[in-house]
Structure 1
Amino acid sequence: MKNSLKNKLIIILCLLLVISLGTVCGASYWSASNLLANSLDKEAELSASNLSIRIDGFFQEKIEIVRAIGGLMSADQNVEHDLKIIQEAQKKNPEFETFFFSHDLSGKKVINFKGEVTDISDRPHIKEASKGEGKVVVSEPVISKRTGNNIVTLVVPLMKDNRQYGYIGSTIPINEIQKKVSEEKFGELGYAFLVSKTGTFIYHPNSEFILKESILDMGILELQTAFEDIKQGNHGIAQYKYENTERFASYAPTNLNWGIYITAPVAELHAPVDQLLVRLTVISLIVLALGVVLIYFLAVRMVKPIERLNHAVNVVAKGNLKETVTVDGKDEIAVLSRDFNQTVSHLKNLIEDVSLSSDQVQRFSQEVSEGIKQATENINQIGLSIAQISEGAEAQAASSQEVALSMTDMAAGIVKIAETSAHVSEAAQIATEQAEQGTAVVEQAVLQMGSIGEGTSKATVAIEQLNNRSKEIEGILDTISQLTSQINLLALNASIEAARAGEHGRGFAVVAGEVKKLANQSEESASKIAMLIGEIQQDTHHAVEVMTEGNQNAQQGIQLVEEVREIFGNILESSRNVAAHILEVSAASEQMSAGSQQVSASVDEMHTIAKHASLDAQTVAKATEEQLQAIQEIGQSVEHLNTVAEELQQGIRRFTV
């Protein structure tokens, strides 16, 4: 049966198991994904920041060396002295490719370590250094015409009286920087690349990109956005698609506004989470299979007693009182089964008692019929005697003796009829009492079935209370959402105040940012809990529907017991009819007794007054007619009693005991 309680129970429990497993797996996968994402973000940002620090340290070291060399130059701008200084520096610092200096800011009299004077005023880094702002200038990477190396030019100001009067410069190969970047790995397939402040690739695993291609020309919007963020001095995370592969990237700026990118395929980084998802799926399927088997056997075990009880109720409703229910356990169903067996047992005993009483009524009615036949024969004999009395006084005297004998027999028959009527009346009274007891037992069964319906209603109320608690939890979640919104606002205000505080508020800004992230995570968790609460409310509504259906089944059981009570009502009514007719038989017996007394008086009068024999014969004839009428009434009552007893037997035959 598709709508059976067992199938519904299995479906509901399986759905709850699937939802539970799906929720656990989803929460585990979501939690692991978030943990991995946070870990990857922090690890990648840390790697990019460390690489940026190493690059900045490299340049800072070189700048300090050049600044120290500039500090050795003469204050009176002696060209020969300063030339010897840079020539000596050239020998002692082989990591530098060349040194040069200028005692003015025009850029047209730049002297290299060979003493050659050149005009390089058109170069962007010389133009920047010639502004006289007293700052260090680093050029864009270029390919050295002399050595073919990738180099940058450092230009350090020469100061006198806090004024810049010239500069000292040096070209540095960036092979070491490119090596540092190439050695940076992230995962198995991850790598790092470096771009200049104009977007030109300083290093990339694809050598064809180096100093030839720009990140702005790749057509990848996410990388372009990250580059603009780097120019603002920010670091962050980006995800983009390159060569049909989704990639993850962390970026960070250097002090030169160069951009460090560390990238790796998303599939590789998420491989542990994907493996976890596979494991969770396999484990969930195994648990689901075991759970379905366990739920099936549990449902069969729970529903089987109900099916047995339902079958027994249907069998008893059809009249078979031999059916019993096997009782296992001590739960409510076991108690109901035990009460059902007891009810059927009482009903069976009652039917047996009523059947026995009905048999006695039939037997007593047969005895009464035989007495009536005998009385009829006696009356016929009296009629013959009266005819003989009419012929003569002598014949009357002779016949009076026979009449006396006949009256004796008739009196004995009347006494027998009275005794039989008393027995029949007593049996009918017993049958009535037994029928009343059966009705009381059925009433008790109706009350018990009603208790079952009340229990089901209480369970429905309990589930509704659970639904109300879920709504209270929703209210609490709304409060949490409001609190997280307030925390976000406070974190934003804290970030603004930290920005106003400048360098001293930087640490506080980081804390405010973390608080904002935690608030966002709390808000997302509250939203997901709200979704779960909604699903639980749907499940509780479904459970209420199932409990309602169970209550309807209990009502059907009450209707079946009501049918049994109606049958007993018919039996009780039939028993009362039998008792009423027995009273009629008793009344007829009294009339027969009165008639026999009249006949006896007539016989005595016949013996004492022979003269009035004719008159006495007429009196006896009338009395005989009255007796005949009384006997006919008794016969009719006995026939009616037989009919009632037969109807009672037909009602009892509906039951098999």
Structure 2
Amino acid sequence: MKLSIRTKLLSFIPIMIVVVLLITGISYSFAKGEIEEQIEERLAGQAGETAGNMERELAEHQRIGETLAEIIGEEGTELAEADYAALQERLVQLNEATFGIGVWFEPFAYEEDTEYFGPYSYEDGEAVVYTDEYSTAEYDYPSHDWYTAGVDAGGASWTTPYYDEALDTVLVTTSIPFYGPGDTLAGVISADMDAAQIQQMAENLEVGENGWAFLMDETGTFLAHRDAATLAEDPVLEGISGNFETNGTTLASFADGDAVVSYNTLDQNGWTLGLVLPEAEVYAGVNALLRNVAIIAGILVLLTAAAMFVLAGRITKPIRALNEEVKHVADGDLTRHIQVHTKDETGELTESFNTMVTSLRELVGSVRQSVHTSADAVSQLSAVSEETMASSEEISRAIQDVADGATNAAGSAEQSSQRTSELSDQLTALAAITASLNKQAREVEETNKAGSEQTSQLQGKAEQTDGMIGRVEDVVQELSERMGEISSIVGTIASISEQTNLLALNASIEAARAGEHGRGFAVVADEVRKLAEETSRATGHIRSSMEEIQEKTSTASSEMANARKLSTEQYEITEKTVTSFDEIASRNEQMNLLVAQMNEGINSITKNKEEVVSSIENIAAVVEESAAASEEVSASAEEQLNALRTIAYSAEDLQSSSEHLKKQIERFRS
């Protein structure tokens, strides 16, 4: 399928759209990745900071229990119940997160007659309430999980949330064992936190605009959640909690949409603090960026497409005009001329085309003039050849007559010795024959002179033809040189295209180095590179056309060489013809001399008949020699006639070649 340059240029528009969309997608992907990384880092930082704050609060809460464990371990059995109440009240008020504190002695460890002793104080509004209702066998605190956890751990231990019926509160307890003399277990200190307070701590955390926090213990039980009603379970978080490490970030799908979850594990008790931020909020900036980039890309595509339409029109319009003019020139119209309106490569190409047409017009004019001159010369040569050939035929016939006459004279001379009586009549007849022979000899001389002159003219015409052919060869050579100059110009254009291609490639590399700021320039550089490649291909087509023209010029030069060869052969044949005429003239002079001698003999015989016989014998010998010479002259004349026929044939061939060249030249209108 044939595609125009305009179509090829405009075909870059969908490519540009794809590139813009690709760049937009890559930019969006990079921006999304950067924002995701920033959000994750921000969430991780916030989670780490919040976890640190929470750990400090939990550590303060745990430290109260540990402090009380140290005090009770040293003085526990010496303190009265009132002392415990006062001490616990002060400790509860030290930390807002602490809901209650209890001292739980091992059975019979406080007093030998007291099995259960567990003083406990807790907050009730602004007041701290002391109670000993847990010091009963029914409650049996040593059997509770929080107690056994502290005993088993040998240090601080945190429980999962549990419901306390007496307080009607969900608690989280820190259990710390204390020891008496000999490091024997004396009991457990419990420092309780209200689960509602822990929930409040999570709710007070600000996670973006719509985010929320959760707190999960090491068993997967929620201590804090955005929905207090679902505190017991959350299928989504429970499903991903198994993959939780010490800290990190992951994705989760909730009922209200996907979200980014960043979590940290508290070193204090193994709890997991998590921050949840909806993806809609995470990618709000990215989506806004995508809209802006899409709008800018759309505007850029429209502007670039419009610019390419205009540019394609400006590029292809002069090329189409040049193409139309080239078609006219190809049809032989050398009167064409294009106005140059630009100073770019197209303008230079147009100027080169005008120069080429002018050179061709001058060349064709010179060749046409040479062809006309050569045709006239060939016509004259043909006419002269025909006339010379006719004259040579007459000369040949005359020489043959001379030979026949000489033969007859020899026979008469032989009979004269026997017919002396008839000598007078025979001498009279011989005088007449001699007069006729003398006349014919003069005619032969005149004809030979005319033939020699015409042959000289033919030789001159052959020299003129050779000169004309030489001039035609010079013109063809000049045309070949002009074609070489045009090929050089086309090579320069191809070199400029290659340099433009290299510059565009360098610009693309520099644009790539410039990063985001160079992307638009990279697209333009890529378009310039592709235009340079199209220009290179176009110069290749022009170069191919020039090579075809040079091929034709070489063919014309070869034909001129053949014509020159024929002209040289014609000139050589003409020289041989001149030589033949010179030989004929020499033989004719000999024959004239013989005729003169014959006349002298006849006159002498007439005056002295007694010497007739002797003279006749001499005449017979001379006549025999004359006959032999006449035969030689006849043979030379025949050779001259054959040479003239060859010249005539060559002249006809040259005339045919001239007519063919004339028809070829007449195709061009100048």
User: How many angstroms apart in 1 are the aligned matches of 2:468 and 2:29?
Assistant: 78
Residue aligned with 2:54, SS: helix
Could you tell me the TM-score, scaled by structure 1's length?
Answer: 0.67
User: How many angstroms apart in 1 are the aligned matches of 2:399 and 2:91?
Assistant: 174
> Is 2:81 the counterpart of 1:80?
yes
- Map of 1:532 onto structure 2: none
CA separation of 1:605/1:321 partners in 2, compared to 1, >3 Å: closer, same or farther?
farther
- Map of 1:251 onto structure 2: 263
- Map of 1:478 onto structure 2: none
> Is 2:58 the counterpart of 1:59?
yes
> Please, which moves more after superposition, 378-387 or 234-243?
378-387
Pairs within 5 Å for 1:191-210: 191-210=212-231
Residue aligned with 2:131, SS: coil
The AA in structure 2 aligned to 1:348 is: V
User: How many angstroms apart in 2 are the aligned matches of 1:293 and 1:439?
Assistant: 49
Could you tell me the TM-score, scaled by structure 2's length?
Answer: 0.66
> Is the 1:407–1:599 contact (alpha carbons within 8 Å) kept by the matching residues of 2?
yes
User: How many angstroms apart in 2 are the aligned matches of 1:98 and 1:627?
Assistant: 157
Of 230, 237, 251, which aligns to 1:239?
251
> Is 2:144 the counterpart of 1:123?
yes
The AA in structure 1 aligned to 2:269 is: L
- Map of 2:423 onto structure 1: none
User: How many angstroms apart in 2 are the aligned matches of 1:155 and 1:296?
Assistant: 82
> Is the 2:458–2:574 contact (alpha carbons within 8 Å) kept by the matching residues of 1?
no
**CA shift at 1:43, angstroms?**
0.7
> Is the 1:142–1:151 contact (alpha carbons within 8 Å) kept by the matching residues of 2?
yes
Residue by residue over 1:483-520, the C-alpha shift from the partner in whole angstroms, topping out at 9 and shown as x without a partner, is xxxxxxxxxxxxxxxxxxxxxxxxxxxxxxxxxxxxxx
Pairs within 5 Å for 1:103-118: 103-104=105-106, 108-112=116-120, 113-116=130-133, 117-118=135-136
The AA in structure 2 aligned to 1:250 is: S
CA separation of 1:395/1:130 partners in 2, compared to 1, >3 Å: closer, same or farther?
closer
**CA shift at 1:407, angstroms?**
5.1
The AA in structure 1 aligned to 2:229 is: E
> Is the 2:149–2:175 contact (alpha carbons within 8 Å) kept by the matching residues of 1?
no
User: How many angstroms apart in 1 are the aligned matches of 2:116 and 2:547?
Assistant: 114
Residue by residue over 1:391-411, the C-alpha shift from the partner in whole angstroms, topping out at 9 and shown as x without a partner, is 774697599679858855763
> Please, which moves more after superposition, 53-62 or 365-374?
365-374
- Map of 1:562 onto structure 2: 551
The AA in structure 1 aligned to 2:271 is: W
**CA shift at 1:181, angstroms?**
1.2
- Map of 1:352 onto structure 2: 368
In structure 2, stretches of 5+ residues that fail to align are 110-114, 121-129, 407-427, 506-528, 603-618
**CA shift at 1:569, angstroms?**
0.8
User: How many angstroms apart in 1 are the aligned matches of 2:394 and 2:593?
Assistant: 18
> Is 2:168 the counterpart of 1:139?
no
CA separation of 1:612/1:3 partners in 2, compared to 1, >3 Å: closer, same or farther?
farther
User: How many angstroms apart in 2 are the aligned matches of 1:349 and 1:185?
Assistant: 96
**CA shift at 1:249, angstroms?**
0.7
> Is 2:243 the counterpart of 1:225?
yes
> Is the 1:49–1:252 contact (alpha carbons within 8 Å) kept by the matching residues of 2?
yes
Residue by residue over 1:149-194, the C-alpha shift from the partner in whole angstroms, topping out at 9 and shown as x without a partner, is 4433344555667956344445432433322312334344422112
> Is the 2:92–2:100 contact (alpha carbons within 8 Å) kept by the matching residues of 1?
no
User: How many angstroms apart in 1 are the aligned matches of 2:567 and 2:160?
Assistant: 126
The AA in structure 2 aligned to 1:224 is: G
> Please, which moves more after superposition, 164-173 or 243-252?
164-173
The AA in structure 2 aligned to 1:253 is: T
**CA shift at 1:573, angstroms?**
0.7
> Is 2:199 the counterpart of 1:178?
yes
CA separation of 1:353/1:300 partners in 2, compared to 1, >3 Å: closer, same or farther?
farther
User: How many angstroms apart in 2 are the aligned matches of 1:99 and 1:600?
Assistant: 169
> Is 2:453 the counterpart of 1:415?
yes
User: How many angstroms apart in 2 are the aligned matches of 1:173 and 1:591?
Assistant: 147
User: How many angstroms apart in 2 are the aligned matches of 1:594 and 1:312?
Assistant: 62
> Is the 2:92–2:101 contact (alpha carbons within 8 Å) kept by the matching residues of 1?
no
> Is the 1:191–1:263 contact (alpha carbons within 8 Å) kept by the matching residues of 2?
yes
> Is the 2:47–2:264 contact (alpha carbons within 8 Å) kept by the matching residues of 1?
yes
> Is the 2:5–2:316 contact (alpha carbons within 8 Å) kept by the matching residues of 1?
yes
User: How many angstroms apart in 2 are the aligned matches of 1:405 and 1:558?
Assistant: 61
User: How many angstroms apart in 2 are the aligned matches of 1:221 and 1:261?
Assistant: 14
- Map of 2:388 onto structure 1: 372
> Is 2:668 the counterpart of 1:651?
no
> Is the 1:238–1:248 contact (alpha carbons within 8 Å) kept by the matching residues of 2?
yes
User: How many angstroms apart in 2 are the aligned matches of 1:184 and 1:612?
Assistant: 163
> Is the 1:194–1:203 contact (alpha carbons within 8 Å) kept by the matching residues of 2?
yes
The structure that has the greater radius of gyration is 2
CA separation of 1:56/1:626 partners in 2, compared to 1, >3 Å: closer, same or farther?
closer
CA separation of 1:314/1:391 partners in 2, compared to 1, >3 Å: closer, same or farther?
farther
**CA shift at 1:431, angstroms?**
0.1
Of 643, 648, 651, which aligns to 1:641?
651
> Is 2:562 the counterpart of 1:573?
yes
> Is the 1:589–1:634 contact (alpha carbons within 8 Å) kept by the matching residues of 2?
no
> Please, which moves more after superposition, 78-87 or 186-195?
78-87
User: How many angstroms apart in 2 are the aligned matches of 1:345 and 1:272?
Assistant: 71
Residue aligned with 2:78, SS: coil
User: How many angstroms apart in 2 are the aligned matches of 1:376 and 1:87?
Assistant: 162
> Is the 1:353–1:431 contact (alpha carbons within 8 Å) kept by the matching residues of 2?
no
CA separation of 1:162/1:594 partners in 2, compared to 1, >3 Å: closer, same or farther?
farther
> Is the 1:223–1:238 contact (alpha carbons within 8 Å) kept by the matching residues of 2?
no
> Is the 1:364–1:421 contact (alpha carbons within 8 Å) kept by the matching residues of 2?
no
May I ask how many residue pairs the two structures share in their alignment?
A: 572
User: How many angstroms apart in 2 are the aligned matches of 1:427 and 1:78?
Assistant: 150
CA separation of 1:183/1:348 partners in 2, compared to 1, >3 Å: closer, same or farther?
farther
User: How many angstroms apart in 2 are the aligned matches of 1:322 and 1:573?
Assistant: 31
**CA shift at 1:102, angstroms?**
3.1
User: How many angstroms apart in 2 are the aligned matches of 1:340 and 1:649?
Assistant: 26
**CA shift at 1:284, angstroms?**
4.5
Residue by residue over 1:27-60, the C-alpha shift from the partner in whole angstroms, topping out at 9 and shown as x without a partner, is 5344323322221121111121222223223333
Pairs within 5 Å for 1:588-607: 588-596=577-585, 598-599=587-588, 602=591
CA separation of 1:23/1:650 partners in 2, compared to 1, >3 Å: closer, same or farther?
same
Pairs within 5 Å for 1:438-477: 438=476, 442=480, 445=483
> Please, which moves more after superposition, 375-384 or 187-196?
375-384
> Is the 2:64–2:91 contact (alpha carbons within 8 Å) kept by the matching residues of 1?
no
**CA shift at 1:252, angstroms?**
0.8
CA separation of 1:346/1:143 partners in 2, compared to 1, >3 Å: closer, same or farther?
farther
> How many percent identity over aligned positions?
15
User: How many angstroms apart in 1 are the aligned matches of 2:207 and 2:153?
Assistant: 43
User: How many angstroms apart in 1 are the aligned matches of 2:400 and 2:543?
Assistant: 73
What CA RMSD, in Å, does the superposition of the two structures yield over aligned residues?
5.6
> Is the 2:462–2:570 contact (alpha carbons within 8 Å) kept by the matching residues of 1?
no
The AA in structure 2 aligned to 1:361 is: A
CA separation of 1:6/1:566 partners in 2, compared to 1, >3 Å: closer, same or farther?
farther
> Is the 1:404–1:600 contact (alpha carbons within 8 Å) kept by the matching residues of 2?
no
CA separation of 1:305/1:372 partners in 2, compared to 1, >3 Å: closer, same or farther?
farther
The AA in structure 2 aligned to 1:438 is: V
User: How many angstroms apart in 2 are the aligned matches of 1:435 and 1:323?
Assistant: 26
Of 352, 356, 361, which aligns to 2:377?
361
**CA shift at 1:355, angstroms?**
1.2
- Map of 2:463 onto structure 1: 425
The AA in structure 2 aligned to 1:651 is: L
User: How many angstroms apart in 2 are the aligned matches of 1:219 and 1:152?
Assistant: 21
Residue by residue over 1:612-646, the C-alpha shift from the partner in whole angstroms, topping out at 9 and shown as x without a partner, is 79969979986689657735642551342132222
- Map of 1:266 onto structure 2: 279
> Is the 2:62–2:191 contact (alpha carbons within 8 Å) kept by the matching residues of 1?
no
Pairs within 5 Å for 1:373-412: 375=391, 393=431, 408=446, 411-412=449-450
> Please, which moves more after superposition, 289-298 or 136-145?
289-298
Residue aligned with 1:251, SS: strand
User: How many angstroms apart in 1 are the aligned matches of 2:398 and 2:153?
Assistant: 169
